[in-house]
A = this chain, B = another copy of it.
Amino acid sequence: MPADLVTIPARRGKAARVRSGQRIRIVNTHGTQVVDTWAFSAQDGTEWMAMDASRAWFLKLRAAVGDTFLTNRRRPILTLVEDTSGGAHDTLMAACDLERYGLLGVVGHHDNCRDNLHAALAELGVSIPATPAPLNLFMNIPWTPDGRLSWAEPVSTPRSYVVLRAEMDLVIAFSACPQDILPINGRMGGTTEAHFAVE
């Protein structure tokens, strides 16, 4: 594994600063790990990658190679430029949070992507006023013709990856999703680390 890979620890978050034009490679190291992904303008933490604005731009439930994500001010922020993972990336579902685990029957603490996001940003000194809807890389949410959704197992494989190109100076944040009740991280519920590199 190249030395410049940064670890997103299992069940934890990690953020990084990226310059416009750089490429971010996100590697599904063990093959079945969902990576919730957010991006924010480096100049203004209230401008973020917005799934609702992005779907209205590329007119798909899922982005494919060549599609560009927009911010909540309709500016290009990230473009999906490579994908060896099978293309199942979700734009529909909220990041997991403590209240979500409560609805799933968990009592007390559970690691969660919302807290991971804010903790990862705090390490960079960044604070944001809300939790945007994430791009859930490697998360497989199929839909039926009548619009029913389900939580499915990943189709990604070990060391598969996506590459995103930064369209502005930005802060990117990841969470190795700690969901171990639904099968989104594989039926074994094994939540693992993942890796990324800024190139």
Contacts and interface: CB of A to CB of B under 8 A. Distances in A.
Interface of A: 46, 50-53, 55-57, 59-62, 72-75, 92-94, 97, 99-100, 102-103, 129-131, 133, 143, 145, 147-150
B94 A148 contact: no
Contacts of A75: 99
Contacts of A100: 53, 56, 74
A60 B94 contact: no
Given A73-B99, A131-B72, A62 B92 contact: no
> How many copies of this chain sit in the oligomeric assembly?
2
Nearest to A55: B92
Nearest to A50: B94
Contact of A60 (B51, B52, B62, B147): B147
A149 B55 contact: yes
Contacts of A50: 94
A37 to B, nearest CB: 14
A52 B93 contact: yes
